[in-house]
Structure 1
Amino acid sequence: MQKKLTTLLGMALAVTCAFAQTELFKPYKQTALRLPAVPIVVNDPYFSIWSPYDKLTEGNTRLWTGDEKPLEGLLRVDGTTYRFMGDKEHKVLKAIAPMSDEAAWEGQYTETKQTDGWHKPDFKADGWQKGRAAFGNAGDNIRTGWSKEHSHIYIRREINLTADDLKGDLYALYSHDDACELYINGTQVATGRMDAVFNESVHLNAQQKQLLHEGRNVMALHVYNNAGGAYADFGLYANIGIEATSVKTAVQKSVDVMATSTYYTFTCGPVALDVVFTSPMLIDDLDLLSTPVSYVSYQVKSLDRKKHDVQFALLASPQIATNKPHQPTESTVVSVNGVKYLKTGTIDQPILAKKGDGIGIDWGYLYVADFNGKVSLDSYNNIINGFMAKGDLNCGQQLVRAYKQNDTPVLAYVHNFGKVDQQPQASFSLIGYDEVEDIEYMYQRYKAYWAHGGKVDIFDAFNKLNRNYKSIMERCRAMDKQIYDDALKVGNAHYAEILSGSYRHVLAAHKLFEDNEGHLLYFSKENNSNGCVNTVDLTYPSAPLFLAYNPELQKAMMTSIFEYSRSGRWTKPFAAHDLGTYPIANGQVYGGDMPIEEAGNMLTLAAQLCIQDGNIDYVKPYWDILTQWTDYLVENGQDPSNQLCTDDFAGHWPHNCNLSVKAIMGVAGYALMARMKGDAATAERYMNRARQMAKKWEADAREGDHYKLAFDRQNTWSQKYNMIWDKLWNTNLFGDEVMQREVSYYLKQQNTYGLPLDIRKDYTKTDWIMWSAAMANDKDTFLKFVEPIYKYIDETQSRVPISDWHETKTGMMVGFKARSVIGGYWMRLLVK
């Protein structure tokens, strides 16, 4: 037995040394770009954890929605513990005046615009109505309706406090859609940005706590609904967690973001720590792309030539597996094939029961495995105290059911390095999420692609990634190199950093699966815009990344839209907008069709795919549908009627010149496909029609040195990003002169943080800037558009996964975040 243990120990040390001898802890390139949110552990719209801070120790990691999904990292050096990830304060909030997810509290409200004094305790709210929270039309627990766009709601809530309540470490929590102001006894304590934000918190400082007193208090919230969803809720809580004051904060030295990995370096006293978060989402490997398991690699070495006793810890919260923090959870220890896993999820397990935007998953299970370390399930206090005292884990518990947030345990992983010297020592851990059932498509439920219809389970996935760690990490590094070098070749280092920082962002907004007819399907979620699934006008702007690196994924986004029409479930003469609300894809739910937009998108992308394939095999089953859509564009696309385009936030707009360009390119795309089909007569007929349309367009849209926003609007302009296909296909419908006239004009319209979308507003869409910029004939001109985008990403104070819709003068997001559309950043790469 002793010989066996010695052999195993030797093998473990050999593996550790092997890891340390690789280059896996050095990014392919160091990066200067400060992403507004850094990808930590990402895979799909639900398993998507980010750090919206410059330093990993400035606060808890979060879902792209902004909800906290805490991961904590600790390194113990010679008995001193350093935190390298997570908030220094371990919050466990107990309700004093709960929000609506715990209790349907009642308050007074009005939608009549108020002047000064409405938020003060002695204000007489005569004529106000009584209503129960939450208030709104989009979100959980709504009991009082409020939905009017460009409207206000004012809510007053009375709270009775005891002397014991006032002794607590107090937090005000609030949810809002859109902007808000929160008051305590007449004094403003928080402001919410123009966005849908849920469970935001403000830690009351000493001065703010003095606003409260025993007995009756008034909290008040004013929310402005700009458009779409409306929501309002708030409450008061006490933190009963602990702050481990003896835990020191590691010094972060650098952070570099590559396509598949995020690299952090720290000093923890006399020891250097490298941590690499890798989601092995290789775009050419569908199994790895869809597998919801990520690596956390870690390496340590002495900085002072002395030996040091070192232990590494990673802590995960069951909150990662909940939609709202108060949901009861069950956490267990399970052993499978000799591997111990910590497993956590909600007790209710409402599989695929929730759909919509701005929500987290509350079904399925988070797993932490004991590969290369030990795991334990216990209370936070027991875990942290045991680790600080001896660098080890207490035995813990086998099962914890937490019905209240303050009973929630943590899932802890520890690796003991023992004595560490100047020779680096390294290892890795694995964290993953099994959704059990991932998506519903046409009333059938499916698991993601990696599970192969149930033939592979989550434990197989963990074992595969564990066994193949080194080779997978090397492949990830090769992908990092390819993404960076390809961008550098057609742009510069700034462009390469933008694409490197965007790669996981784009992929993590999707779900890959295969239906029962063998179709590969790749569905986007319309994050932070309306929650739709597989929206065609997200598929279109995101296409350049997939067309450049894996066109099969582009097809996988489009096939279901074709099949929807072929099945007869969609009967209109143009393409559908979406297939439902994520994760339920049973048919379009969007209320306003986008006829020319979606038909043009599908035809254009289909043509590009056929060009890249060198044949029309992909579209053959759908030829009649393509013909119908093309004829619709021929009849209606020259001068579009009053309708939406993909920039639907700008509202309906008749005679849209850019939308007309889309129709023209759609018709041309059909002609190209007909030519490849061998039907020369049809190809010539439709290409001639496209030429006629383009000639009329140029005459009607021309306004001196540029082209109008709408045919009937004088002294206007807009980006004509849809024209890029004319350059790609060399169809010369508009000609290079038209494109370069537009590009030259755009350069005169740029602001500090980019080119506005059009004359109407200062806001922009960065994906469309990249499309417009790709029309430039030379690299230097292209880069003149890239630099303001780089500056925006680097400087914006909107700390979210890159918002594609922002103000070009202030750099602040207007809306949208974590969306797939920034796959459009790859357009120049596709053109070149």
Structure 2
Amino acid sequence: MNTKLRPPAVPLVTIDPFFSVWSMADRLTDDDTRHWTGRRQAFTGLLSIDGVVWRFAGRVEPNPERYYTEPEAMNQTGLEVTALSTRYEFEAGGVGLDVTFTSPLLPDDLELLSRPASYVAYRVRSLDGKPHQVRLYTDVTGEWCVNETDQAITWQQEAQGELAVLQVRHAEQNPLHSSGDDQRIDWGTFMLAVKQTPDVQTYLDQASIRKQFVREGEIRPNEGKAALAQPQPVREAELVLACVWDAGEVAGTDEKSQLIVLAYDDVYAIEYFGQPLEAYWKKDGTSIPTLLIEAFQNYPDLMARCDTFDAKLREDAIRAGGEKYADILSLSYRQAIAAHKLVQDSEGQVLFMSKECFSNGCIATVDVSYPSIPLFLLYQPELVRGMMRPIFKYAASDAWEFEFAPHDVGQYPLANGQVYGENKLEGQMPVEECGNMLVMAAAVTLADGNTDFVLEHRELLAKWADYLVEHGLDPEHQLCTDDFAGHLARNANLSVKAVMGVASYGLLCGLLGEAEAAERYRQAASDMARKWEGLAADPTDESHTVLAFGQPGTWSLKYNLVWDGIFGTGLFGEEMIRREVAWYLEKQERYGTPLDNRAAYTKADWLVWAGALAETREDFQRIVEPLWVFLNETRDRVPFTDWYDTKTARQIGFQHRTVVGGLYIKLLKDRGWERA
């Protein structure tokens, strides 16, 4: 029985929605590396061992329409994915090679989390004790800085201190000129940086230099020096940013190592209600040369911090839900962060802007933030406030005409106002978004005890709470976050969200010392919950609740109930929740329990939230481990999808979304509010 997870896609370079590259294959040599959208952004690696060249990453021939005999792939003997690093192990010709990709997204350091620099570290050693001559070749392509390969690029190399920095950029620089979903950045500068030492040579040339390395195990001194005509379309130039490390002789137990940094300066990151904003790491005037120098200087300390974080996260995850749950959380961590961009507004406040990846490309989507928050509540609550600020700003403006909360503030990277549903009433999610914002506000305040944020936005929160008291118990015909299932009236799970939204506002009033208001909203939520249990009961089968009030014989995952346990509000009956969990187990397919009775698909985030309703660790594992099986067996090689078929393991839609942060809900529930 296989107990080691085979990820559907492996995170390599994961910083933000534009700078996120993955391996979508079992082995790093099986395919080119790709942007999360599936477009090729190639990273190629070759290793010469005693004059014989092997391949450890990607492919040599850049044009699949041409025939070329690829060098033999090294034997990939290991793959480990932790929260912050991906480690590959290879063997060939008596030599071992370790390749480690690390994006140091440590949540206690926002400048570091924002820094657009990702490490690739190499270590070579003799496996048979004999001496071997080793030389390593790495390159990345001009594809990394354009949206389409017919776009022209320019390139240059600079010395920055002790570093050699190879750079490539789109010839037409126009930051923030467009928005979209299946879109890559075509402004700013992509870089490969390496320390200038006698054993390292760097090249800006056509990809044909790969073939010379394959034939000769090196690149002749006169190669890579001839100036190519600039600018040129990516597909015609076939430009690579390459370096060759001559490791010399490796023998005995000696190990040798090398490090490169891949970085991206996007110039401007987000347009925020008409104002272009730079990435957060630039807030104090830090420059790219300084960033790169510090990246190399800080590497040993950063890796120690990353390893400590990885180990603690895995330990906590195993305690909460077992080894497979730990695998799921490790695979989801970098994606949850890399689906955001961290910036700072003109008042110096943190904005953590999500992209609704392969959904519609919306930015700062409320019902995408809501499922993602467990990870951020655990490790950095300020990022949850950073998700909410754009919504509060927009909802308080004259541009927002409705009495309920908005869905989004634009399409990534342009945050200039909601685009979802063309702002027509029938396209909105009134109960959904009000409930989401209220739960998020209560959760982030409980997480660290800081009430300043809710005081600042008190008027909107109160309005949304009153909206839910009036309209939330028995929702009208409207959308919820599971909008792919269409409009639904009297949605029982949406009603739970309304109850928890009202309860959340009561909690906030209590935290603000307003006892009378706290009791009034607590009582309103309690009354709604009692009525809910009557409305949601299935008269034909008392073992579960219905999908929608008045629809006997239906059912759904009541994932929104999880906050009743996390907040300790105790509004809903424990026996009802036990029956729900038992029902979810009864309805389970090979790859998980469907979202509801209407279709065989499920949502990964909601599945884990439903599992977190279980009283025992064993029942939680029984509900969640089919998700691990899905990841291990699906044929759809994409970054962690959250919407898939529970019978076939096929992706239905969505990938690379931050909602996988919601998979941390069991850690959050187990930890409680000890931070407060």
Q: What range describes the TM-score normalised by the shorter chain of this pair?
A: over 0.9
Within the candidate set 572, 586, 593, 2:428 is matched to 593
The separation in 2 between residues aligned to 1:513 and 1:579, in whole angstroms, is 15
- Which one-letter code corresponds to 1:320 in the other structure? W
Within the candidate set 342, 362, 368, 1:538 is matched to 368
1:694–1:733 Cα contact (<8 Å) kept: yes
Structure 2 SS opposite 1:697: helix
1:295–1:429 Cα contact (<8 Å) kept: yes
Identity %: 44
Structure 2 SS opposite 1:737: helix
1:294–1:430 Cα contact (<8 Å) kept: yes
Q: Are residues 1:418 and 2:248 paired?
A: yes
Q: Are residues 1:772 and 2:610 paired?
A: yes
Which position in structure 1 is the counterpart of 2:281? Answer: 450
- Which one-letter code corresponds to 2:631 in the other structure? I
The separation in 2 between residues aligned to 1:796 and 1:329, in whole angstroms, is 37
Structure 2 SS opposite 1:600: helix
Correspondence list, 1:287-436, <5 A: 287-371=111-195, 373-386=200-213, 388-392=215-219, 394-397=223-226, 400-403=230-233, 405-422=235-252, 423-436=254-267
| Structure 1 residue 362, shift from structure 2 partner | 1.2
The separation in 2 between residues aligned to 1:427 and 1:340, in whole angstroms, is 14
Deviations 1:210-257 (A, max 9, x none): xxxxxxxxxxxxxxxxxxxxxxxxxxxxx35x6254x22211111110
Within the candidate set 37, 52, 67, 1:80 is matched to 52
Which position in structure 2 is the counterpart of 1:230? Answer: none
2:163–2:293 Cα contact (<8 Å) kept: no
The separation in 2 between residues aligned to 1:395 and 1:492, in whole angstroms, is 51
2:435–2:468 Cα contact (<8 Å) kept: yes
| Structure 1 residue 268, shift from structure 2 partner | 2.4
Deviations 1:592-638 (A, max 9, x none): 21110000000011111222233522200111111100110001001
Give the number of the structure whose alpha-carbon radius of gyration is greater.
Answer: 1
Structure 2 SS opposite 1:825: helix
2:142–2:234 Cα contact (<8 Å) kept: no
1:523–1:534 Cα contact (<8 Å) kept: yes
- Which one-letter code corresponds to 1:459 in the other structure? P
Which position in structure 2 is the counterpart of 1:195? Answer: none
Which position in structure 1 is the counterpart of 2:673? Answer: none
The separation in 1 between residues aligned to 2:592 and 2:214, in whole angstroms, is 49
| Structure 1 residue 359, shift from structure 2 partner | 1.0
2:277–2:345 Cα contact (<8 Å) kept: yes
Q: Are residues 1:558 and 2:385 paired?
A: no
Which position in structure 1 is the counterpart of 2:674? Answer: none
Structure 1 SS opposite 2:300: helix
| Structure 1 residue 31, shift from structure 2 partner | 8.1
Structure 1 SS opposite 2:331: helix
The separation in 1 between residues aligned to 2:219 and 2:286, in whole angstroms, is 33
The separation in 1 between residues aligned to 2:608 and 2:454, in whole angstroms, is 28
- Which one-letter code corresponds to 2:255 in the other structure? P
Structure 1 SS opposite 2:637: coil
| Structure 1 residue 336, shift from structure 2 partner | 2.7
The separation in 2 between residues aligned to 1:480 and 1:645, in whole angstroms, is 35
| Structure 1 residue 287, shift from structure 2 partner | 1.3
2:353–2:387 Cα contact (<8 Å) kept: yes
Which position in structure 2 is the counterpart of 1:824? Answer: 662
Structure 2 SS opposite 1:66: coil
Structure 1 SS opposite 2:45: strand
Which position in structure 1 is the counterpart of 2:487? Answer: 652
The separation in 2 between residues aligned to 1:569 and 1:461, in whole angstroms, is 39
Which position in structure 1 is the counterpart of 2:78? Answer: 254
The separation in 2 between residues aligned to 1:727 and 1:262, in whole angstroms, is 35
- Which one-letter code corresponds to 2:339 in the other structure? A
Which position in structure 2 is the counterpart of 1:814? Answer: 652
Which position in structure 1 is the counterpart of 2:109? Answer: 285
Structure 1 SS opposite 2:467: helix
1:727–1:736 Cα contact (<8 Å) kept: no
Which position in structure 2 is the counterpart of 1:35? Answer: 7
Which position in structure 2 is the counterpart of 1:635? Answer: 470
Structure (1 or 2) with the greater strand fraction = 1
Q: Which structure 1 segments of 5+ residues have no match?
A: 1-29, 93-238
The separation in 1 between residues aligned to 2:507 and 2:299, in whole angstroms, is 45
Structure 1 SS opposite 2:301: helix
Within the candidate set 437, 456, 460, 2:268 is matched to 437
The separation in 1 between residues aligned to 2:240 and 2:195, in whole angstroms, is 18
| Structure 1 residue 317, shift from structure 2 partner | 0.5
Structure 2 SS opposite 1:280: coil
Correspondence list, 1:101-140, <5 A: none
1:79–1:388 Cα contact (<8 Å) kept: no
Q: Which structure 2 segments of 5+ residues have no match?
A: 422-426, 671-676
Which position in structure 1 is the counterpart of 2:32? Answer: 60
Q: After the TM superposition, which of the residue ranges 539-548 and 395-404 deviates more from structure 2?
A: 395-404
Query: Residue 691 and residue 252 in structure 1: after superposition, are their counterparts in 2 closer, same or farther (change >3 A)?
Result: same
Deviations 1:113-145 (A, max 9, x none): xxxxxxxxxxxxxxxxxxxxxxxxxxxxxxxxx
The separation in 1 between residues aligned to 2:117 and 2:219, in whole angstroms, is 25
Within the candidate set 443, 447, 452, 1:617 is matched to 452
Deviations 1:436-469 (A, max 9, x none): 111101101111111116x112221111110011
The separation in 2 between residues aligned to 1:268 and 1:288, in whole angstroms, is 36
| Structure 1 residue 383, shift from structure 2 partner | 4.7
The separation in 2 between residues aligned to 1:383 and 1:741, in whole angstroms, is 61
The separation in 2 between residues aligned to 1:756 and 1:569, in whole angstroms, is 38
The separation in 2 between residues aligned to 1:770 and 1:557, in whole angstroms, is 22
Within the candidate set 313, 329, 348, 1:483 is matched to 313
The separation in 2 between residues aligned to 1:346 and 1:409, in whole angstroms, is 12
| Structure 1 residue 395, shift from structure 2 partner | 4.5
Correspondence list, 1:459-470, <5 A: 459-470=289-300
Correspondence list, 1:688-727, <5 A: 688-703=523-538, 704-727=542-565
Deviations 1:302-350 (A, max 9, x none): 1222211111111100011111122111121223335321111211123
1:258–1:480 Cα contact (<8 Å) kept: yes
Structure 2 SS opposite 1:349: coil
Which position in structure 2 is the counterpart of 1:522? Answer: 352
2:143–2:234 Cα contact (<8 Å) kept: no
| Structure 1 residue 539, shift from structure 2 partner | 0.3
Structure 1 SS opposite 2:561: helix
- Which one-letter code corresponds to 2:465 in the other structure? T
Q: After the TM superposition, which of the residue ranges 349-358 and 503-512 deviates more from structure 2?
A: 349-358
1:31–1:257 Cα contact (<8 Å) kept: no
The separation in 2 between residues aligned to 1:782 and 1:646, in whole angstroms, is 24
Structure 2 SS opposite 1:619: helix
